[in-house]
A = this chain, B = another copy of it.
Amino acid sequence: MRIGELAARTGVPTRLLRYYEERGLLDPGRTANGYRDYAECLVDRVVQIRGLIDAGVPTRIIGRILPCLDDPRAIHVADADPEIIAALERHRDQLDARIRCLTRNRDAIGAYLDAVRGLPSADRVTAG
């Protein structure tokens, strides 16, 4: 599909899709006239990229982990490199730390909301 359709289907502006390509996150082919040509599976990938960026993962890192996530069972030759394995482990641990931090804060917000809603409104305006 062309860039306009991908933009419509993902909600990501064409300008941004070109930006992600510049950052190495997408590599669409080209049709004879030079237009970008996106495979169907890139719809999911764009959504995944958005999610990771929203979650604070820099594009530099996303570019490194994305190739491994297409299909975890398809091992790439270069990945035998212990350096790459170590880097992936670091990325995984960083994601882990992020998840723990976000979970703690999400739960704290949840507890706070529960506390606020658990009070009758009369108490609510006088408490604190």
Contact = CB atoms under 8 A, between A and B. Distances in A.
Contact of A69 (B54, B56, B109): B109
B101 A55 contact: yes
A85 B68 CA distance: 40
A31 interface: no
A99 interface: yes
Given A56-B55, A80-B124, A80-B125, A106 B95 contact: yes
Chain A, interface size: which category? 35 or more
Most buried by B among A51, A74, A75, A77: A75
Where chain A touches its partner, the secondary structure class is: helix
Interface of A: 48, 51-57, 65, 68-69, 72-77, 79-80, 85, 88-89, 91-92, 95-99, 101-103, 105-106, 108-113, 115-117, 119, 121, 124-128
5 contacts: A51-B97, A51-B98, A69-B109, A79-B124, A92-B110
Contacts of A92: 106, 109-110, 113
